[in-house]
Amino acid sequence: MPTDANRSRGRVSLVGGGPGDPRLLTVRAAELLRHADVVAYDALVPTPLIEMAGPQAELVSVGRRAHGPSSCEYRLHPAVLERARAGLHVVRLKAGDPFVFGRGGEEAEELLEEGIPFEIVPGVSAAFGAAACAGIPLTHRDHSSDVVLATGHDIEGGKPSKSSWAHLGASRGTVVLYMATRKLDANLARLVEGGRAATTPAAYVAAASTGAQTVIVATVGTLADAARHVDRAAPAVVIIGEVVALRERLAWFERGPLFGKNVVLARDEPGTSPLRAHFEALGASVVDAPRIEVTKASDGTALALVASPDARFGALLFTSTWSVDAFVAKLAELDVDVRDLSPARLFASSEDVRAHLRIAGFRAEILDHAALGPLRLAADRGPIAVLAAEGSARCHALTVAVASGIELVDIATHAVHARPPRVAAPSPHLVVAPNAAAVRALFVSLEGASMASLRDVPLLALRADAATAALGFGVTHVHRLCDAARVDQLLADATALLVRHV
């Protein structure tokens, strides 16, 4: 049994995940996902939202209540209670808003009874998110002055509805039905029985705000037949009212040239690709893969030697911001004053790395990949220490440097781990790879069938080494971008590739 102390430390955050697009998540929700011990999510929560959880988080699928135990068996999933009682911070991630047909009220009541602290984080509700992304204003001065949110779940044999369907049918405003799609014909028939005209415009909006968004517009009398082919597993709402007719003019979400296309941006370092926002602006659904985690190097002896006042290197070459952080941390750990270090020259592999060194109080030169003269001069005073990730490959410039007689010493400052997705992601239509390291990280993180299927996906290589690496992994459609520095050209080439291959 958990102790009182554990119980006091454990807490639960009931978090609204919004309609599906991670960019519509609240700042507070994103913060909680990054730091939670456990993320318990519904089947309706899209993969990109779940992947926002920090690497330390345990991911727990608590299913979808419509297909699992009935609400009379429990209010809050037992897995959530168990972990909160054990002193863990649990984020209960829900689609939409937890207090709008999300059963957040019942769950909060149970947490209160259990004496477990809780927090409610609102999200963009399914009704509001779906309407906005479908181009359907829920209110409009010429068409509707009121909105009613109702659920049609009771028709499947659940708890009796507390809604007056006669009132809903008699309403001339906008009605949004949640959980009404599995028995759509019966739910719409109830509205007609209550007085709503069968000719009233109606829309079925599924997977709102995602690349799989589907909107079907018909009437109350014909919508059930029109939407009969739609996958009912996707979260959906039904919008009824004269405002639905405005979609013909206001639809905007599906107009992007890459709408409905899944793009993988290959990564060899943590964080999101700088290209992500550009692809999303064109309507693509984007996944950064693989998940990159950075840890300490398995052996810190060599780094300790570099950070020692007794070190005698001609220069230190920093290849990443992580190398800078590891070096600075080692100096602090050894209590070394930077003024006691030997006067080695410092080089940075890029402007970002040099800026990071400057923040840390060091001045560095950019390594000129075309002219190795400064590095050669530094090598006259001693070997060049290359501070890089454990087991990382040297760039072409350093290979040339070794061939010209410059002595290099590889110093492992950190380890980079390429992890596969923690939950299944949609099949990609295009892979964009910035360099060979990103290609290797992507394919090494995959296994078996996943790797085999990715070989048939078109790959856009931003550098020659990325193209060579992709061919080495057996990718059948590799395309080399001639001018990777121009984002507009990159996006144009990506769009053309998707048109040809998808």
Task: Write down the domain spans for the chain.
Answer: 10-123, 127-255, 262-290+420-501, 305-416
Nearest 5°: the CA angle 456, 458, 464 is 115
Q: Across-strand partners of 92?
A: 14, 40
- The answer to whether domain 262-290+420-501 has CATH 3.40.50.10090 is yes
Question: What are the backbone dihedrals phi and psi of residue 276, each rounded to the nearest 5 degrees, phi first?
Answer: -55, -50
CB 404 within 8 A of CB 372: yes
pLDDT of residue 136: 98
Distance CA(296)–CA(417), nearest Å, equals 11
Looking at residue 242, the DSSP 8-state letter turns out to be: G
- Count of CA atoms in the C-beta half-sphere (13 A) of 430: 26
Q: Which pLDDT score is estimated for 157?
A: 61
What's the CATH architecture for 10-123? 3-Layer(aba) Sandwich (3.40)
Q: What is the pLDDT of residue 484?
A: 61
**pLDDT at position 349, please?**
87
In the prediction, which pLDDT does 6 show? 42
CATH of 127-255, one of 2.60.300.12, 3.30.450.20, 3.30.950.10, 3.30.70.890: 3.30.950.10
Render each residue's pLDDT in the chain as its tens digit; 502 residues.
344 544 457 999 999 999 999 999 999 999 999 999 999 998 889 888 998 999 899 999 997 644 444 444 678 899 999 999 999 999 999 999 999 999 999 999 999 999 999 999 999 999 999 999 999 999 999 999 999 999 987 766 666 777 888 889 988 999 999 999 888 999 999 999 999 999 999 999 999 999 999 999 999 999 999 999 998 888 999 999 999 999 999 999 999 999 999 999 999 888 889 899 999 999 999 999 998 888 888 888 888 888 888 888 888 999 989 999 999 999 899 888 777 776 678 999 888 899 999 999 899 988 876 667 888 888 888 899 999 998 887 777 788 888 888 899 999 999 988 888 777 778 899 999 998 889 999 998 887 667 778 899 999 999 888 999 999 999 999 998 866 668 888 898 888 888 877 6
* Residues contacting 176, CB < 8 A, separation 6+: 127, 131, 138, 147, 148, 149, 150, 237, 238, 239, 240
Q: What is the pTM of this model?
A: 0.81
What is the enclosing helix (H) or strand (E) of 203? strand 201-206
What's the length of the chain? 502
Q: How far from each other are the two terminal CA atoms of the chain, in whole angstroms?
A: 55
Two tokens at 471? Answer: 């061919």
Strand-pairing partners, residue 387, are 318, 411
CA gyration radius for the chain? 28
Q: What is the pLDDT of residue 370?
A: 67
Which tokens go with 293?
């985690």
Beta sheet of 365-366, edge-to-edge order: 291-296, 408-419, 384-389, 315-318, 345-348, 365-366
- What SS3 state is found at 315? strand
What fold characterizes domain 305-416?
A: Rossmann fold (3.40.50)
Cβ atoms of 223 and 112 closer than 8 Å: no
